[in-house]
Amino acid sequence: MNNIKLMLIVILSISITACFPSNNSPKSEILLQGRTMGTTYNIKVVATPEQVTNLKLQQKIDGVLKQVNQEMSTYIPNSEISRFNKSSSSENFEVSAGFARVLKESIRLGELSEGKLDITVGPLVNLWGFGPEQRPEKAPNEELLAATLTRIGLKNLHLDGQQLSKDIPSLYIDLSTIAKGYGVDIVAELIEANGITNYLVEIGGEMRLKGFKHTGELWAIAIEKPILDPSGEERAVHQIVIPKDNAVATSGDYRNYFEADGHRFSHIIDPATGKPIDHNLVSVTVIDPSSMTADGLSTTLMVMGTEKGMAFAIKNNIAALFISKTEHGFSEQFTVKFKQYLK
Ligand code: ADP
Ligand code: MG
């Protein structure tokens, strides 16, 4: 009898260890880091080191991000987007499923914002010196600006499933306003597909998180204080948010800009004028389940400015925080939907 009991205990303990082969060490926050899309990524997963190794998580992450670049980077000459941009044909061009997903959301947000978010704005971005082409010494003249404006517009772009086409040969797509957010989404989806439910994914400042830290606390995110410091070295915390299972994206004007003729030029263009935005809004933070949507919306609201952006965010039920420059420092405004995330 005793022997049977002992055997049962032994069998039981063998089957328990067999069920949890990688649970020998406790779960902690494992940091995975690398470079993508001209910036860095930082990913925290709550797991055991064995789990992360066995799943080959970092290789898988690098693999999907490499694919995003091969599809959507204008810096890679033979990427899908570059081949479409270079082509002067108005025939259908088949794009991969991921690229189509980003295009679909970009077009949806473009229509929702009546053209304030416009992924065909590329020629203007390049004209003002923020694209893969060279940075100009000074602002372009009005004639060149008017000519470039005729080369943009979402009405000239058509997406039907995975078939993409353009009406004018020079149409050029630039997804830099939304691609990082998409990268965050697919990495988050990859992590979840591998059975990890507590994580934080960050690519170049765009984030998406789920669940808890290894301590059992909710993830907290620090929104940076907008300091107009060209060196970008001075950083401070403006606000702490607890986004729960959501993505957080910030579009800010205080890091990427150039100065010419004694004027600061933003890297965000108002497609209505063809010129860089010129208002006192310095950053917009959006919280949304999708990082791609949050990324696109933060730029959209940035183009609109505080007043129109607030009205748009309220109307469309967007969780948004606006930080503006005032005479005496900074002021902030947020929608009711954003308030729940403030710490
Ligand atoms: P960042 O994270 O660098 O602040 P954003 O997500 O705000 O970037 O996107 C800014 C980039 O989007 C610009 O560098 C430019 O390439 C592109 N862009 C600028 N204006 C617009 C616009 N109105 N619509 C879509 N894309 C834009
Ligand atoms: Mg953006």
- Mean pLDDT score, 105-117: 98
pLDDT at residue 129, as a whole number: 81
pLDDT at residue 67, as a whole number: 97
328 pLDDT tier (thresholds 50, 70, 90): confident
21 pLDDT tier (thresholds 50, 70, 90): very low
Give the model confidence (pLDDT) of 214-238 as tens digits: 999 999 998 877 765 555 555 677 7
Ligand 1 atom index nearest CA of 131: 16
275 lines ligand 1 (CB under 6 A): no
pLDDT at residue 26, as a whole number: 82
- Percent of the chain with pLDDT strictly greater than 70: 84
CA 16 to centroid of ligand 2, rounded, Å: 47
Q: Residue 168 pLDDT more than 80?
A: yes
pLDDT at residue 54, as a whole number: 96
- Mean pLDDT score, 181-194: 98
The answer to whether the beta carbons of residues 58 and 32 sit under 8 Å apart is yes
pLDDT at residue 34, as a whole number: 97
Q: How many CB atoms lie within 10 A of CB 231?
A: 6
119 lines ligand 1 (CB under 6 A): yes
Give the model confidence (pLDDT) of 265-313 as tens digits: 678 999 999 998 988 898 999 999 999 999 999 999 999 999 999 999 9
For domain 70-166, which CATH number applies: 1.10.3980.10, 2.40.50.140, 3.30.70.1450, 3.60.15.10?
1.10.3980.10
- Mean pLDDT score, 29-43: 96
CA 176 to centroid of ligand 1, rounded, Å: 6
pTM: 0.88
Q: Among 294, 291, 296, 264, which Cα is nearest to 280's?
A: 264
Low-confidence winner among 1-15, 45-59, 313-327 (lowest mean pLDDT): 1-15
103 pLDDT tier (thresholds 50, 70, 90): very high
pLDDT at residue 335, as a whole number: 98
CA distance 115 to 125: 15
CA distances from 245 to 220, 250, 259, 262 (A): 11, 17, 39, 43
Ligand 1 atom index nearest CA of 270: 23
Question: Where do the domains of the chain lie?
Answer: 70-166
CA distance 202 to 332: 24
pLDDT at residue 3, as a whole number: 43
